[in-house]
Structure 1
Amino acid sequence: MFSSFMITFREGLEAFLIVGIILAYLVQTRRTELNKYVYSGTGLAIVGSLIAAVVFNLLAIQFEGRNEELFEGLVMLIAAVILTSMIIWMARENNNISSTIKEQVEGKKAYGLFALAFLSVLREGIETVLFLGAAAMNTETNAVLYGGVAGLSVSIVVAYLVFRYSSHTDLNNFFKITSIFLILFAAGLAAHGVHELQEAGVVPIIVEHVWDINHVIDERGTFGSIMKSLLGYNGNPSLIEVLTYVGYYIAVGIGLRVPGRREKVAITA
């Protein structure tokens, strides 16, 4: 439940902040007559996200046996890649997110603003569907649903408070803290995705169990189940799973150290 809460809280807040920045910029530039295009683009994106959720669930229930393991493994790996790319992008942009969105708004007319709002919110919505779908494969569906609704509700309140008290809000620290959790969650997704592909016979096992500590923390017990849903805990991982888990952190570390577009421009200027 906590993992789904954090996912929808983070994704929802990003979507609401993007729309809020667009609307705020239209107010500043006295172009509020274009607000309706932003609202309609946002509304259509929400509908599109709900359709994507239905399609994802319909696809998920179609698979059984080896195909189900293959589907789940691929979904987890794709979710881990997208989630990580989002975290790295946010870390590179840092203080420039607001200015980046304003640059995109400049010069855009009605349908351009509609498309910007639609694509921005739809991207967050599709990501949320994918991340929640991957999370649901490690825990109960009801817990994921309740956590997701709670996270989305809280994100609406926080987004409102951010714009009302923006001068006293430090979003950078918030995104840094949530990024740490999401990196841990994505690492677990990557390792568990490999586990599912091994079950499907796509990835070789090599060494089946590097260690077995289920007698200490049973992955099927209460605490172990929580750790599994949050961090992808496995009490008896294979060698490839361990290498994937460690390799993921190395890859993220490298990705976070590579300078973003703005830093590169500043260096060469």
Structure 2
Amino acid sequence: MLASVLIGFREALEASLIIGIILSYLIKTNKEKYNNIVYIGILSALIASTISAFLLNFLVGGFEGLSEQIFEGIVMFLAAIILSYMIIWMVGQRSIVHNLKNNISKELDSKKKFGLFFLSFISVFREGVETILFLGAASFASDSNNNFLGVLIGITFAVFLGYLIFVGSKHIKIKKFFRITSVLLILFAAGLFANSIHEFQEAKIIPIIKEEIWNLNPTINLDGSFPVLHEKGVIGSLLKGLFGYNGNPNLLEFIIWVSYLTGMMFFYIKYINRTQN
């Protein structure tokens, strides 16, 4: 059952945190009236992921192998692009910190409204499809009740963590909030880009070049369970869900991760220094 809890937690963690950050951002900038756009995105994603999961199961006999790899790669790549846009947008909003009270009446334009909707949608959609298909597969297993309950417990933990981010951010100064959330989103996006490359490599769309450049994953326990620091263990799964942690990356994955992280952090630090001068 622990494995099911971890799967549910990992699948829902990223989406919960991103949604929590988006809602916190809207509150911090006194634009709660746009919360409905986020909620509509979440609801649309839940409906779309349910339909997509059933269609994938019906058309291709499930969500395995090549279809899973290509789907994962595309959706992770799209999510990383949208997150990158949101990071740039949020960093740009730092310039209004000192004049925020005088600019509350400013509305988001239609593109930004769509950006809110699409980011909410894509964050929940990818995780929703995978979770629904996992639950469908679990229903045929001998311990299906435990699997189902475990996934639901994991999802509940992840949503609760996102809620804590949402509530806790109300007590954080807006400048500090922008800094923390921007760095978190940069780490999210870096992991998504690297993982999308991995999925395309698994589907043989992109060459691997060089297999794992190191392997930090501890040996699997004799009973078949994973050590806590293994990428499929308790802590490893948490890091993987948060930042795309990979205990044994190949060369191209590592290059993509470092390049994106370095580039975005350089942009972020440069912008902060410019606004402070």
Q: Distance in 1 between matches of 2:259 and 2:200?
A: 17
Using structure 1 for the length normalisation, give the TM-score: 0.67
Q: Given the alignment of the two structures, is residue 46 of structure 1 paired with residue 46 of structure 2, yes or no?
A: no
* 1:114-125 superposed matches below 5 A: 123-125=115-117
Q: What residue in structure 1 maps to residue 22 of structure 2?
A: 11
Contact kept? 1:15, 1:120, Cα under 8 Å: no
Deviates more, 1:58-67 or 1:189-198: 58-67
Contact kept? 1:21, 1:101, Cα under 8 Å: no
> Partner letter of residue 199 of structure 2?
E
- Distance apart, 1:245 and its partner CA: 1.0
* 1:159-170 superposed matches below 5 A: 170=173
> Partner letter of residue 146 of structure 1?
T
Q: Quick one: structure 1 residues 4 and 16, their matched pair in 2 at CA, closer, same or farther if it must change by over 3 Å?
A: same
- Distance apart, 1:223 and its partner CA: 2.3
Q: Given the alignment of the two structures, is residue 230 of structure 1 paired with residue 222 of structure 2, yes or no?
A: no
Q: What residue in structure 2 maps to residue 66 of structure 1?
A: 66
Q: Distance in 2 between matches of 1:219 and 1:201?
A: 23
**Identity of counterpart residues, as a percentage?**
30
Q: Deviations over 1:91-121 (max 9, x none)?
A: 2320416968976956xxxxxx7xx588755
Q: Distance in 2 between matches of 1:3 and 1:251?
A: 22
Q: Distance in 1 between matches of 2:27 and 2:112?
A: 10
Contact kept? 2:40, 2:117, Cα under 8 Å: no
Q: Given the alignment of the two structures, is residue 213 of structure 1 paired with residue 216 of structure 2, yes or no?
A: yes
Q: Distance in 1 between matches of 2:176 and 2:188?
A: 19
Q: Distance in 2 between matches of 1:249 and 1:119?
A: 26
Contact kept? 2:16, 2:161, Cα under 8 Å: yes
- Rg bigger for which structure? 1
Is there any run of 5+ residues in structure 2 with no aligned partner, and where? 1-8, 57-62, 135-149, 220-228
Using structure 2 for the length normalisation, give the TM-score: 0.65
Contact kept? 2:45, 2:124, Cα under 8 Å: no
Q: Distance in 2 between matches of 1:46 and 1:124?
A: 10
Q: Given the alignment of the two structures, is residue 146 of structure 1 paired with residue 138 of structure 2, yes or no?
A: no
* 1:1-269 superposed matches below 5 A: 1=9, 3-17=14-28, 20-21=30-31, 43=36, 46-47=39-40, 49-60=42-53, 62=56, 63-96=63-96, 123-134=115-126, 142=152, 145-147=155-157, 149-150=159-160, 153-154=163-164, 157=167, 170-215=173-218, 217-256=229-268
Q: CA RMSD in A?
A: 3.8
> Partner letter of residue 79 of structure 2?
A
